[in-house]
Amino acid sequence: MALSGSEILNNPRLNKGTAFTPTERGALGLTGLLPPFVSTLEQQVQRALANVRRQSSDIDRYIYLSSLQKRNERLFFRLLIDHIQELMPLVYTPTVGQACEEFAANFRDTAGFYVSIEDKGSVSSVLSHWPEKDVRLIVVTDGERILGLGDQGANGMGIPIGKLALYCACAGVDPAHCLPIMLDVGTENEVYVNDPLYLGLRQQRARGQEYDEFMDEFIESVKQRFPKALLQFEDFATDNAVALLERYRERLLCFNDDIQGTAGVAVAGLIASTRLTGKKLSEQKFLFLGAGSASTGIGALLVKVLEHEGLSEQEALDRLFYVNRSGLVVEEPGQVFGAHLAPFVKSMPAMSFGQAVDTIKPDVLIGASGTPKVFTQDIIEFMAQHNEHPVIFALSNPTSKAECSAEDAYLWSGGRAIFASGSPFGPVHVNGEIKVPGQGNNAYIFPGLGLGALHGGLTRIDDELLICAAQTLANTVTDKELAQGCLYPPLHNIRSVSVAIASAVAQKAEELGDVRRPLVGDFGERLRASLYDPRY
């Protein structure tokens, strides 16, 4: 039975609001339900943008945009695509961090899909309730390590919703093929357990065998219900993030954005930085603050890049140093390190972060610690004393967790730092120049990687594909952008960047034999023609 009248206006995929023509209004039973003036999509975009801008805070802007997505999907994505630079920080980092923290308080209308540990034994049946059957892309979290905010429990749903919005806007993935999933296995955040408005399970997180069995059932259910889907793991705690990726990467098409996406975008920035430093990556030393899955993911991929430049694996490992809460990661009696960190453990004396900087004299400082302002003036001035162009990456999200600001990095280095961050910072005036800091946003990598995986028929995603994506991204940065200090292309070019990455990744996968079928000769042209382009 065809929908008509208010049913159409209440369907975000079909609704055009005031853009329905008089003929459509008559045929669909809409006459009288809308004001008589017929708007163009462009007029609707301008009205929506004005509404975004008149909100009093970023969280109010986030709520308005979320409501628009639930009301008129095509208008939401047209607005996001056309104004990506202004709106991405509202749809995702940094605003999504606050949106997760306030998810229950601001809850208005359900979005995404929830599978709880209480569904154990019937997960496949539960997944059948999702209305779209041709799911190609799933982003899933269990909410334990949301950005730098820690355990957000069921409030973490904001992350997969935001990530999939970026897939659609930045890489042209059809929203009809997208499924955001929150796996609620409990929370250890006492604030939420005691919050009467909290919407998740009020119990300790499932762990050990119970958790593993639940995840096995979930993965098998995804394979059964959505056999064409790429699954992206998002914001799992380090131990689970590493274990889940290793357990399932050969069982279904999947990747972990915190480990692999972060690695890809960080390595892309490092590759681009060599055009400013004039030094090969294999000639540099790298000191990481933070030793979780994100930073060790960067390190593991960087080792592969250094090997491509001619170093042995051990020579590459010797150039990477890690500092965690205890100080420099070194061998200690009785100390056991996780598999992700073990390759980077050094046979050196124990020392603090400051002592490690002084002893190692790194060329590159990478922060993925979730600890704000830890890159102090003394640290950055020391880096500038020993490097003509010290490379400073403050990658922790949201902005409140950044290891330093762009302004600090530039001012304390005399304008010589090469800076990138995880959250956006505005231009900085220093020494009569304007520096435009680059945001090492995973949105530069994962949408293109996912697009290439889906259209190229990939069977697996390995490090060679991530290196390919990183090199492609680095190559899109112009000399003019680099001269301003920006290691990444402007966000308004992100769809073309994603297509370039998708094409390169698919071709590399075909070369490696990791595609289901050979690519067609005009693969790139067909890819561009297939992109979701929301219009009426």
Q: Which residues are catalytic?
A: 92, 163
Q: Where are the alpha helices (DSSP H) in 287-433?
A: 293-308, 313-317, 353-360, 377-386, 406-412
CB 413 within 8 A of CB 384: yes
**Closest to 303 in 3D by CA, of 314, 288, 294, 287:** 314
For the sheet containing 286-289, what is the strand order?
Answer: 327-328, 320-324, 286-289, 364-367, 391-394, 418-421, 438-439
Task: Please report the DSSP string for 87-155 in residue order.
Answer: HHHHHSTTHHHHHHHTTTTT--S--SEEEEGGGTT-HHHHHTTSS-S---EEEEE-SSSBTTTB--GGG
Residue with tokens 């690695």: 263
CB 456 within 8 A of CB 505: yes
Handedness of CA 394, 396, 398, 404 (dihedral sign): negative
Give the DSSP H/E element, type plus range, for residue 393: strand 391-394
Q: CA 335, CA 221: separation in Å to the nearest integer?
A: 38
Q: CA 28, CA 5: separation in Å to the nearest integer?
A: 6
Which residue spans within 177-298 are E strands per DSSP?
A: 178-184, 230-233, 254-256, 286-289
Q: CA 264, CA 445: separation in Å to the nearest integer?
A: 6
Q: One-letter amino acid identity for 62?
A: Y
How many residues are present in the chain? 536
